[in-house]
Amino acid sequence: MPVARSSRPFLPGLSSSRTTTPTPFPLLLSSNPSSSSLPRRGLIVSSPPPTRRLLTSFRYPPPLRCSSSMPAHVSTAESQAQWENCLSYSRAFWVSESVIAWNVDVGDGCCCLYASQTASLSVTDGGIQGHDVRIEIKEDSEGLPANVVEKFPHIRDYKAFKVPIGVAVKSMLKCQLAVAAFSSDGRCRDATGLQLPGILDELFSYDGPLGACYSADAVTLYLWAPTAQTVRACIYRDAASAEPQEIVELRELNGVWSVEGSKSWEGCYYTYEVCVYHPTTLSIEKCYANDPYARGLSSDGQRTFLVDLASNDVKPEGWDRLTDEKPSVLSFSDISIYELHIRDFSAYDQTVDPDIRGGYLAFTMEDSAGVHHLKKLSRAGLTHVHLLPTFHFAGVDDVKGNWKGIDNKMLETLPPDSDEQQAHITAIQNDDGYNWGYNPVLWGVPKGSYATNPNGPARVTEFRKMVQALNHIGLRVILDVVYNHLQGSGPFDKDSVLDKIVPGYYLRRNASGHVEHSTCMNNTASEHYMVERLIVDDLVNWVVNYKVDGFRFDLMGHIMKRTMDKAKDALCSLTMEKDGINGSSIYLYGEGWDFGEVSQNGRGINASQFNISGSGIGSFNDRIRDAVLGGSPFGHPLQQGFLTGLMLQSNGHDNGGRDNEEVMLATAKDHIQVGMAANLRDFEIADRTGKKVTGSEVLTYGGTPVAYALSPVETINYVSAHDNETLFDIVSLKTRMEISVDDRCRLNHLATSMIALSQGIPFFHAGDEMLRSKSLDRDSYNSGDWFNRLDFTYNSNNWAVGLPPKEKNEKSWPLIKPRLADPSFKPDRDHILAAVQNFVDVLQIRYSSPLFRLPTAKAIQDRVRFHNTGPSSVPAVIMMSIEDGHHGNPELPQLDQTYSHIVVIFNAQPSEVSITDPALSSKSFQLHPVQVKTTDEVVKRSSYDASSGCFTIPPRTTSVFVECR
């Protein structure tokens, strides 16, 4: 229902202001008519009028005094500060309407719950003052209910305190709240604030409309804010207006605030003014925030743009037909992924119009160097482009005119190992146009800095044009989503949104009530119902409104498995008939790392590698990455692996002697073989000792199982991603300095081929196929275009453009500097062209046979075999065969119409090797036709002798042999 609108002047920004005079809301009393105007037993209204005094036998706690444990010498001021500080913590949890959980031992004392509508609670030697309500809560000897323990396992051992029946709980939740514990003699033993997500979920979980809803003659706003005392919407005619054209009051129904406005609001902007208690300031604050369900923003990201995504005005030509025109993917096992940053793609591409370089529309330039490169990969078989964060993130101003830049010509004159380049870059790194974007502000709106105009609908239409263009060249689109944390928190941060709307709910807090930061910034809490709902709704928004084809979840292990399952179910339920989308084609995967407060299911069953198995959701396989390259991103930078020279060509790093290196190399080989079998936990191999074991019985150096997947589509195999050094850089760092750049380039290709020819889903970092370098920068998230350059003309791989930024790399500068200074490390254009062709070749090989893309665990177990195993095997050589049904093996169904048997051999040795396997003799193997025609003259020297079953493989080479039908 419409409400009266105010026309008085109002100048809100997106900060907050403190208020002590909030609009009144209903008195905090039971609404039970039998009690007339009096509260029920156990509920006390502070200093009520005489006619309302509570006439019951309820025993008031004696006046609050400090615990006798407080030292006698503590001054009154010191003790008051100590008690006031108690309310800065929220160590108690209101988990359901009738239960408060608190880790306090009351004994024969008592506990009380306090509320203040004006946030006037204070704790002094004389007691808790300023309360409107005081309620005694009693300990429940049966402890916390099972459903509470399941939802909040980190407080499983807390005491349960019962809240009396009849308390006006919903009104109390809009107040400052505290609990205090008293000893039997009335002394205060402890006091603290409360965390409210449990009771908010129980009382206010909501599945109705949220955000802006559009009809033929109205725009209606809905906001979930159950703890707010008042909510108003400030409507602006445009993005730059200093004053709103109108301010409207929203009305609340069970925690949801709404107002119906005129159709003329469409195309306008708005912010919410939310009057709410905030636990970080212990005050009632006026918070100014965007709509959490925003679908458009102003250029400064401080106002929500009212845009109807279903309107034809924001649809590119042919948009409604795009779903029917998408490149087909028959099975998730057919997917291959290319990870790309939007700005990297075209910032340096001189074949792109300068006005759209680094943005969405660069993907629509059919004749640009970058688009030609993507077309080449698509024709070879690549199926999906994974775009780094594209939502509204902090760290890059949407207005390009505000960016600072560097004279690249000046940088090019500096020495390759100089520290001057990074000094110039880092001096402006927070004011340029570059950031990866893993610092989310609002999830549901495209980032404005990638659009030609960040105001109005341009970011919507141009994002859609980008998706459309990529689909038309044969590539589906995956978005990198970051639901595990948010950039801002609190009532004053300009990047804070959710924590202004419902303070203390959206962000995960520790036992003291402070926000968890294990993900580097404000962790979100998907275990809370409305956080989970926001995540699922956001995913559906991107699929339905932008027709994207999948999602990569940053730090997926910090999200609950239940949330991931709900997301998958919600997307799979989308249909062509109902939604214009085939939801079953949407692929989900992410980082299943298990650490921080969620580790070991500390906040519920999380979406970690081991927990996610069986769900059909993919997770990154760090085991194969570490085994191929050596060590880990957190270990010594010179730790070598299977491919980088371990035991065979030492770089001088001490591995504990030759015998230990031999074990390390053989163990790495086991890890890789399990990974190449899609990291299936039940896949059987002969390990380095010759013992037959399953993938889950092969252990990492930390003692955890290597394998965790139950299906090949649950494994994302990779050796390089945006995080850490590029593939070429890590190979250049770990291999001994004396080897040639030719050999380093061959190792780069050997690594990508190991991923491309593995079972499971292969994942490639953009530029690895072009020997991409970031000048050995291990974390280039804010290193500007200079260190992140991609050159699709193949003239440079960006090696040796200066020492990488000091902040993340200085400890390794002594290792980096001599490598950058040595001109023999730098590849030339011929090396880059050869690398691109080799990558195209290996993609063509993968897609030449369905045997490289087996869809089930059983198919892999039945068909994939590893040879050259056990203690007598040739080191640094992996030999894999894949068998199809044929006359000699009628038990296997035939999948491949062309090849009956495939053998792939990866030789990481610096010399040629010959391997004989009697089981593969008397066959008619020949080199794969793609490799017969390749420009790589080395691989053409690969051979097979049928009489002996002997394969000969050149050094640092991947050779593929096929038996034709």
Measured in residues, the chain has a length of: 965
Rg of the Cα atoms in the chain: 31
Where do the H-state alpha helices sit in 432-554? 458-472, 498-501, 529-546
Neighbours of 405 (CB within 10 A): 11
Strand partners, 553: 481, 590
Cα(515)–Cα(488) distance, rounded to whole angstroms? 11
What's the CA dihedral at 134, 136, 137, 139 to 10 degrees?
Answer: 150
Q: Give yes or no: 828 in active site.
A: no
Cα(664)–Cα(630) distance, rounded to whole angstroms? 10
The tokens describing 343, both together, are 């700005």
Nearest one of 591, 341, 381 to 476, comparing CA atoms: 381
Out of 495, 591, 714, 963, pick the active-site residue. 591
Task: Confirm if 193 and 178 have CB atoms less than 8 A apart.
Answer: yes
Nearest one of 186, 194, 49, 50 to 121, comparing CA atoms: 194
Cα-Cα end-to-end distance for the chain: 73
Cα(660)–Cα(68) distance, rounded to whole angstroms? 62
Q: Quick one: how many helices (H) and strands (E) in the chain?
A: 25, 44
Cα(663)–Cα(656) distance, rounded to whole angstroms? 11
Indicate the residue type of 477.
V
Q: Which residue has the tokens 């001096």?
A: 427
Task: Confirm if 228 and 257 have CB atoms less than 8 A apart.
Answer: yes
Nearest one of 546, 635, 531 to 586, comparing CA atoms: 546
Cα(786)–Cα(409) distance, rounded to whole angstroms? 11
Distances (CA, A) of 222 to 228, 257, 627: 13, 6, 51
Cα(589)–Cα(584) distance, rounded to whole angstroms? 14
Cα(15)–Cα(826) distance, rounded to whole angstroms? 50
The tokens describing 145, both together, are 């209910």
Q: Where are the beta strands (DSSP E) in 215-348?
A: 218-224, 228-236, 246-249, 251-253, 256-262, 269-278, 283-289, 304-305, 337-340
H helix or E strand, kind and range, residue 379: helix 369-380
Out of 139, 527, 538, 554, pick the active-site residue. 554
Where do the H-state alpha helices sit in 553-702? 561-572, 576-579, 609-612, 622-629, 658-676
The tokens describing 556, both together, are 């997926």
Q: Give yes or no: 591 in active site.
A: yes
Q: Which residues are the active-site residues? A: 554, 591
